[in-house]
Structure 1
Amino acid sequence: MKTYIYKTFAVLLALLPISCDRSGVWEEFQGNIPWGLCVVAVADENHTEPISGATVEIYKTEADRDNGSNVYLTKQTNGKGEALFTLEEFDKSHQGAEQLKGNYYLKVTKGNTTAVATTRYLLMNSGTTYHWVTLE
């Protein structure tokens, strides 16, 4: 029985380096998925009541957001309460994704109601990052 266990362990150990060889597949996969930041405006903590027609403003600094100056990007939410910003929109100065990484500061307004938030650290690498903002 011990011999069987040792042989099984040896086979698994031999396969381990092979299974870890990614050969760039993940990196290639990432390059094919466009990056985006989707800000979703909702009226409740359960995210079940989307708010359409809200204005989403993105700022590079918290001070700019608090002062309402130097808006970096702005959009209106659609019927699902979503405002999707693409990497091309973020990269206005053609700096490249590496220079755009970081946190951004949000202000979402609908009528007389305004909410502010800070995004998670954005890597700008692949897929869509969703950020929900509750307007109460």
Structure 2
Amino acid sequence: MAMSFDPFSELDRLASGLLQARSGPRVMPVDLYRDQDHYVLNADLPGVDPGSVDVDVDGQLLTIRAQRTVGSADGAKWLAQERPAGSYLRQFSIGEGVDTAGISASYDNGVLSVIIPVSEKAKPRKIAVHSQNAGAEKQKTIAS
């Protein structure tokens, strides 16, 4: 009796085992960039109910939490269930150069956008340079 080996079936079996074995927080890919006087953090949260998204800041730690639940189809026999359900969690150390009171967030089409303003004290500024020699020359002229 000849046995056949199907590498694609084996790969599917291994992948589904890995997906089911994950019991911790799910992966939340993010993009982070600075645009002039604020940082923009975009996090992918596909299929997440916006009501389950929680963004908070405690000191210099920004935390994003979300929950994705599996849709239930009564009486359905699942043929594939690869979209992970569960909790999402990411934490970011945001440093001291941001205005934590001005942080805002929005959720659109499965993407959470967090706007983090740069604090006034951390913004670049020009420093005026004064010549001390010019002041000394004025004093000489007045004294003469």
* TM-score for the superposition, normalised by structure 1: 0.33
Compare the two structures and name the one with the higher helix fraction: 1
Specify the structure having the higher radius of gyration (Cα): 2
* TM-score for the superposition, normalised by structure 2: 0.32
Q: Which has the higher contact order (CA 8 A, sep 6+)?
A: 1
